[in-house]
Structure 1
């Protein structure tokens, strides 16, 4: 039975690990995950371990569904005597008071209207005008770059590449500082970096552990596992 450690900085749904086992060609492979974010659901039955090293918390275990006995009949509904409303009492010929007293049309309002806020004058007026022009200039400057350039593939690539590098360094620093994570990696037959944020950690692990294959993506991990199984199959 082989052990595979998955390095990930993205949110992984529970069903993803079933797909991983299918793509690796081994339903009995042991999966350990080192994730920057928590999985998309309860994964205790999907993986051997899931170590969260980033922000957030692991999802709670789902509550067990109540077991209903089909042979058990529900008791008949019983209406308590005090739950039955009594008829309203009628008091002689007394007239019912109106719900709300009528207010004469010419009655004056009880609360005076708020006075209008005085406009700034002198130096205050100059400061207000300068602040308004500054805010307007910032809005105009932000619209100077065409939307087509902002959403273009090169700009998106540069922004995503920078974010991946920053996250990759943070992720690797957290992996290196956790003894439990390094102990899990030491027991792995193959280490897999699943996304761009985990590449830097995978590269560093490959430099530190030359005897353990560290690859990018599940297809490369499948090839490494097939190579590990090949000597035993030929014997």
Structure 2
């Protein structure tokens, strides 16, 4: 039984893990996932563990509603004649209840006045608010003035995505390093797989810390490592394939 740890910063559907097992050769493996985003559905029957280290909550499988047994239905209730109150008795009860209702209404708390409006900023605070508002407006105007062809061009999209991946990669690695349960799971792994660009930085750092554990990018590289471990168990301490450090994360 081989332990495979998947590092991911994207939302993965539950069926993805079935595909992973097929791509890894349907071998006897234990899948542990360290995700920044919760999966798109319950994965309790798909993986051994799924540790969420980012925002959000893990999805929960819906609880099936109990089916009523028709044999447990109670027979129609029969009202005894003496259980029906006489008109006089009803009037008497209402007379007794009215004073009590009046006492409850009198004891109810009076409605509180609405809170006073928040005072507007003055002095230096007002100046700062005005400067911030003008800066936001200038950015919006500049964004509208930029031609759509430039905003949607491949180089601009690449630069924006690259910057977002770098920021997320550093945050993801910091969270992995600070979680003892995550590091304990990784220490038991035979292969660690970074599934996307946001997890590359964490994978590279893990490869520097654990030279004896293969840390690779993508499922095909993980399949090669598992095949090598299966064919040559005596080469477990051989130098594994390493991830290259992503540019700009120094």
TM-score, normalised relative to structure 1: 0.68
Match of 1:206 in 2: 207
Tell whether 2:17 aligns with 1:17: yes
More helix by percentage: 2
The ranges of structure 1 where at least 4 consecutive aligned residues each deviate by more than 2 angstroms after the TM superposition are 64-69, 72-75, 137-144
What CA distance in whole angstroms lies between the structure 2 residues aligned with 1:213 and 1:67?
A: 50
Aligned-residue offset at 1:39: 0.8
**How many angstroms apart in 2 are the aligned matches of 1:21 and 1:37?**
21
Question: How far apart, CA to CA, are the structure 1 residues paired with 2:47 and 2:226?
Answer: 18
Alpha-carbon distance in 2 for matches of 1:171, 1:211: 23
**Structure-1 separation of matches of 2:141 and 2:18:** 51
What SS class does the counterpart of residue 155 from structure 1 fall into?
Answer: helix
- Residue 87 of structure 2 corresponds to none
Cα distance change on mapping 1:8 and 1:144 into 2, 3 Å? same
Counterpart CA distance in 1 for 2:211 and 2:142 is 52
User: Cα gap change, 1:140/1:67 in structure 2, threshold over 3 Å: closer, same or farther?
Assistant: closer
Q: Which has the higher contact order (CA 8 A, sep 6+)?
A: 1
Q: How many correspondences in the alignment?
A: 178
- My pick for the range that moved more, 19-28 or 137-146, is 137-146
Secondary structure at the aligned position of 1:38 is classed as: coil
The Cα shift of 1:198 comes to: 0.2
With over 3 angstroms needed to count, the CA separation of the structure-2 counterparts of 1:68 and 1:22, relative to structure 1, is farther
Cα deviation for residue 29 of structure 1 reads 1.2
Distance 1:217 1:223 in 2: 11
Instruction: Work out the CA distance in 2 between the residues paired with 1:19 and 1:141.
Output: 45
1:48-67 paired onto structure 2 within 5 Å: 48-64=48-64, 66=66
Per-residue CA distance 1:44-89 (angstroms, 9 max, x = gap): 11110000111111112321354577xx5898x98x9xxxxxxxxx
Distance 1:67 1:46, change over 3 A: farther
Distance 2:172 2:213 in 1: 20
- Say if 1:151 and 1:27 are closer, same or farther in 2 by CA, change over 3 A: same
Q: Per the alignment, do residues 65 and 226 of structure 1 end up closer, same or farther by CA in structure 2, a change over 3 Å counting?
A: farther
* Distance (Å, rounded) in 1 between the aligned partners of 2:67 and 2:2: 38
Q: CA deviation at 1:212?
A: 0.3
Q: RMSD over aligned Cα, in angstroms?
A: 2.6
Structure 1 unaligned regions, length at least 5:
81-133
SS of match in other structure, 2:145: coil
- SS of match in other structure, 2:168: helix
- TM-score (ref. length: structure 2): 0.64
Matches within 5 A, 1:12-161: 12-64=12-64, 66=66, 138=138, 140-161=141-162
Consecutive unaligned residues in structure 2, runs of 5 or more: 79-133, 234-250
Contact 1:11 1:40 in 2 (8 A): yes
1:118 maps to which residue? none
